[in-house]
Chain A
Amino acid sequence: MLRIRNILRYAVAIALNIFVMVVFHSYVNLVLLAGLLLFPLYSIYGVHKVKSHLSVTLQAPTEDMHKGEEFLVRIVLENPTWFPLVNVTAYVKVGNSFYGVQGEHELNMPLRAHGKTETVYPVVMEESGHFMLQVSSIQCVDLLGIYAVMVPVGQRAECIVLPEGEAREQEAGNLYQKGVSEAMESKEKGYDFSEVSGIREYVPGDKLQNIHWKLSSKKDDLMVKERVSVSAMQLHVVVELVGDEIAQAESVLELSDSVTKAFVRQNLPFTVHYYSVTRAAMQQMYIGNEIERKQWLEMLLYDTCYKGECRARELFQKEYPSAGAFLYVGPDGMDTEDKIIGEQGIAAALI
């Protein structure tokens, strides 16, 4: 609509100019007319020139951020041509893949000639997760506002926003001690089971019982199950990434963060288990230090939380029926006194 209005306005200007030129025999208006007629061509040519040379760069923090913390995302348009544009509109999608939320908006900015135009977005995420900003395309409008072209971009910037749980070291330490003792008891009773931690190609020397026959027949190559002794991991932490509401899942993350952080600080090694929606399987990771813990959190947040029934606990118990005591972080409902209560009905309970 605006473009039509601009075209009409421009046409009226040309018509008036022709009128004055003809009536007054004005050379001045001839010059103006030449300008008026050629400028749209120049302007449109400029847009196309820009279109073929425009580059977009999105920059998000490379390090992990924390929820509630402001971080800057930069949207940089680089125009190497000598044609400036007053109106450039980027179609931006912003979301948190962990919760599956997404929003769209338009970012209108100028495009300076032969240089960069940078817009800085100070963003705050009130929930932890995987922040993602994507520019799908950019609309470039010519100087007269009568012609526009779309430039496909498909650029993306992302960053992990970590949860920030409260420090609950004392409670977590107590739970750990209790949990480990129970696990040790199980081992002494001879129930030291091993579990499959991963699958790799066969290396000479591997036990035959570890060969994954089913997979090997499919791949035409021998594949071997890597097994880890359950009791060697000391304590299992099972995180239930369930959340009918974001706040509930957020509480799971916070409590997980609190507990795991406390374990790492007290140099208490543990193995975390969670159900990955994207892989449709339980995931586990041994954590012995803060770096590993962060890697786990990143991995966790790249995934997606799920709604409805709790899956991780059930699957864990199925996979490790005699794993002994483990720390379950999820919706409260356990009849045990060994637990840390979080918000939104979430608790970390020793089961």
Chain B
Amino acid sequence: MFGRKKKREVHSEDMVLAEGIYLKTPKMQIGNIVYSCFLRSVIAFLLTLGSVGGFLSALQLSYNYLLVIVAYMLLSLYFSFLYALPKFLYRDMGYIAFFAVFVFAIYTFRIHANSGLYVVVNTVLQRAKAFFNLSGVREYETQIDNDYLTVAIVAIFIGMVLIIILNIWLYSRMSLIWAVGLTFPLLLIPLYMKLVPDVLYMIFLAIGYTMVVIFKANGHYLAFAWDKPFKIKEGKHARVSYTQDAGVFQHVLVTIMVFILCISFALQGVIRPGDFERQFHSDNLREKTADTIGNFILLGFAGLYNQYSSVGGMSGGKLGGVSNVRPDYMTDLIVTYTPYSNQAVYLKAFTGGRYLYQNNEWEDLYTYNEAGSDEDITDFEDESMKQEMLSLRQDSGKYYAQGVMKVRNVGADGTYLYYPYYTQFENYSIFKNHAMFESMQGLNRGTTGTYTYYPKIVWEESLGETTPGKIDKSNMNEEFLDVPEENADVIKAECKKIGLTDTMTENEITDAVAQYFEDNIPYTLSPGATPRDEDFINYFLTKNRKGYCAHFASAATLIFRQMGIPARYVEGYAFSLESVLASEMNEGEKAADYYQGYSAIGDTPVMDVEVTDAMAHAWVEVYIEGFGWKVVEVTPSNSLDTDENNFWDAFTSAMNNLGADGDQTSGILGDLDMSKLLWGVYMIIAVVCLFVLYRMGVIVVCKVMRYQKCHQSDQREAVVARYADLCDRIRLCDKAFNACKSHREQLQYMKDKYGLSLDITVCCEVMEKISYSRQEIAGQQLVEMMQMIRQVKKAVWKQATFLQRIRLCKR
């Protein structure tokens, strides 16, 4: 029973129990390291599955459970084993290997992951839409329809990240804060929307948390392959502590499982979820935060601090806070008409009069007049260009045309009318102005407006050939020529840059501006928000120099005004002939009922054009002497935006265009300011490079100095330097060499360790003489010493391990 083992040895590594009584390594059946790792991996597994599974179950998303569970189990095991490896180097290599696999997997399954993520995001948004009663929540288009698989894949990727981080914090600290911080926030999303996760997942989480609490409180959670069963602390409070024990780990796990299961089921018998909810009479959190969360869901992070992304559609002249435009491509309007020209069709909605400096806003030209309705009627006639319509209607020339357009509001802002240019309204008094939203004079959703209009397809060459100075402005509203003082300098400078002069005609000026914009200022849907305390137009023209239609139209309006051309800012929808051709024909309607007169493109059928929010647009109207208001398109066609359909593409694109122009990229997570992120990456890379360069510099300098010392003209000194260098080398490879203090000990060590045939006595004598005396030494002896040193150096290098060689090179 008690084995005898003859063993007399120094007890340097043994614990002194009492004088003359030594304890060798105590033993205990702590279990197989593989089993220990398996048990430990259960915590990360339960937490991850509880979190991700609970989240998905609350959203009632079904996915390939088996695949997810197996993947989580394997991942947890893998990382648990990494922490049990005998060397930290192996763990690092394990991480690198996993990273390679991760990159390969994410590349291979990027479309699946992307689709799965969109399914999850869409489901969250749908739940949010129902919970917050939101309208117009965007949905992301999935490329793969197999939700069962794609959701599982995205769950695996999310779980992978969780498991990696959890492993680090569980196996090194058993940190409850990290465990909860990483796993519970995901559940807050459904919990906020009163979606309850499945009980089973909650039990998993509870078991995981309890295990963390227990082992944090008690310790003994670290399991390493090199672990001895006990750790020994000697001294006044001597203590022999066990390191870890798979047996007790397993028993605690089972105990916790039983306890949590009992509690869960017992509690459900006592208090049901519904009864619990009824205990709360008020819901302060949701009442106070619903708006903010709703904004967040609609607009992303930017929605939280008023620098939101626009989802497309009308902005009503409000310009400043939009950092980027992310149309959802949902249909806003359905336009039924007969195409008559290859030019874009503009549907007018908002007309801006005075530009409000620093409010970043175009004031609605037609404000509510309390005094009486006559002025309102005049205003609307002016806005809808009644005079121009009448002149076109009365035109009996070759290019006369009359059309009917039906505009059905599906998802557009119902406070505006959306009518084609030169529309004849039957009753101008019912459309008073846009400040009276409550009067329902806009085109409400679900309703259809039918407009008779007289398009001007061909413009006479003489129109617009007047210089601005000669335009009759006597009856003109002065707001159409108003340039705020604060903008004037910038606008003038811009006019100068463009090369505008007073002698240029209206057409020349509008063409020059459009061309200048085309050539010099790129179009982008992500120009970034205008900083606070900056004016929208000034910032655009002087600093940002990129933008979307609202930027160009706003700037051009002021430029035209500065040049003396009456101009106004307009918002609405515009669609091109390409969009029309891509639309469906309305075979139930006759073309003759919709269009009569001249057509630039011949006979065409009636088309139902789906106008999406991406077709929302801003443009300029300028007053042309001899006719009236005309559309001027100044938004350039050149675009900075890449075709980023999904998060991964955006990410890849951002990585490919590292800092090309500092453009911002939008993504499903809101405004990912990639340029800032990349600057951070740049900085890190730069710091790392600098550090590496510095280290390399130090190494090179040291090497050069050492070389100089070892090859100096004084051979005695050279031998001393070489011997010192040799000793340094050996010390790097073997710390035991530090114990050798004298030349004799050192040389003896070299001889024993490297198996060299040295005459210790002779070598020692020579070295002692060289180092400590002034006696003359024969040149031959010095050469022999140098040879000896070289020989040992070679042997050191030969016997060094890979890491030791790196260390030798680094010095």
Q: Which residues of A contact B (CB under 8 A)?
A: 6, 9-10, 13, 16, 20, 22-28, 30-32, 34-35, 38-39, 42, 60-61, 63, 65, 68-72, 82-87, 94-96, 99, 101-113, 115, 117-127, 129, 131, 141, 143-146, 246
Contact = CB atoms under 8 A, between A and B. Distances in A.
Interface stretch (B255-263, B617-625, B752-760): B255-263
Contact of A30 (B6, B18, B210, B276): B276
B251 A84 contact: yes
Interface stretch (B233-241, B299-307, B349-357, B533-541): B233-241
A94 B176 CA distance: 39
Contacts of B410: none
A110 B196 contact: no
Given A24-B191, A39-B210, A120 B28 contact: yes
B8 A68 contact: yes
A122 B25 contact: yes
Interface in B192-216: 192, 194, 196-197, 199, 202, 206, 209-210, 213-216
B2 A99 contact: no
A144 B219 CA distance: 11
Interface string B259-294: 110011001000101001100100101000000000
Most B-side CB within 10 Å, residue of A24, A38, A101? A24
Most A-side CB within 10 Å, residue of B7, B26, B180? B26
Nearest to B260: A35
B196 A94 contact: no
B666 to A, nearest CB: 30
Contacts of B259: 35, 38-39, 42
Given A68-B6, A144-B213, 4 more contacts: A10-B213, A25-B194, A38-B259, A125-B22
Contact of A87 (B1, B11, B218, B263): B218
Contacts of A25: 194, 276-277, 280, 283
B196 A96 contact: no
B247 A27 contact: no
A101 B267 contact: no
A241 to B, nearest CB: 16
Contacts of A94: 17-18, 21
Given A103-B18, A246-B20, A110 B191 contact: no
A35 B206 contact: yes
21 contacts: A9-B216, A9-B217, A10-B213, A25-B280, A25-B283, A27-B277, A28-B191, A28-B196, A32-B206, A42-B259, A70-B5, A86-B215, A86-B220, A96-B20, A104-B238, A106-B237, A124-B11, A124-B24, A125-B21, A143-B217, A246-B19
Contact of B20 (A106, A122, A126): A126
A83 B7 CA distance: 40
B133 interface: no
B785 interface: no
Contacts of B251: 84, 112-113
B218 A141 contact: yes
A342 B363 CA distance: 116
Nearest to A16: B180
Most A-side CB within 10 Å, residue of B2, B26, B220? B2
B372 interface: no
Contacts of A60: 2
Contacts of A99: 19-20
Contacts of B239: 105-108
Most A-side CB within 10 Å, residue of B3, B11, B245, B248? B248
B252 to A, nearest CB: 5
B276 A110 contact: no
Interface residues of B, number: 74
B267 A31 contact: yes
A242 to B, nearest CB: 18
Contacts of B187: 28
A126 B11 CA distance: 10
Contact of B217 (A35, A63, A101, A146): A146
A35 B213 CA distance: 12
A1 B611 CA distance: 70
Contacts, number: 206
Contacts of A141: 218
B182 interface: no
A127 B230 CA distance: 25
Contact of B176 (A13, A113, A143): A13
A141 B220 CA distance: 14
A61 B3 CA distance: 9
B24 A13 contact: no
B27 A110 contact: no
Contacts of B273: 27
B28 A117 contact: yes
A272 B811 CA distance: 70
Given A35-B259, A106-B237, A119-B26, A87 B219 contact: yes
A110 B217 contact: no
A121 to B, nearest CB: 5
Interface in B326-353: none
A26 B191 contact: yes
A133 B277 CA distance: 61
Contacts of B242: 108-110, 119
B188 A70 contact: no
Given A143-B214, A144-B213, A112 B285 contact: no
Nearest to A102: B18
B4 interface: yes
Contacts of A145: 214, 217-218
Contacts of B23: 121-123
B16 interface: yes
B193 to A, nearest CB: 10
B252 A143 contact: yes
Contact of B28 (A23, A102, A119): A119
B442 to A, nearest CB: 40
Contacts of B202: 28, 31-32
Given A35-B206, A110-B245, A112-B247, A70 B7 contact: yes
B29 to A, nearest CB: 7
List of 4 A-B pairs having minimum Cβ-Cβ separation, nearest first: A145-B217, A103-B18, A110-B248, A84-B251
Contacts of A39: 210, 259
A9 B24 CA distance: 37
Contacts of B213: 9-10, 13, 144
A111 B218 CA distance: 12
Interface in B20-56: 20-29, 54
A95 B218 contact: no
A145 B221 CA distance: 14
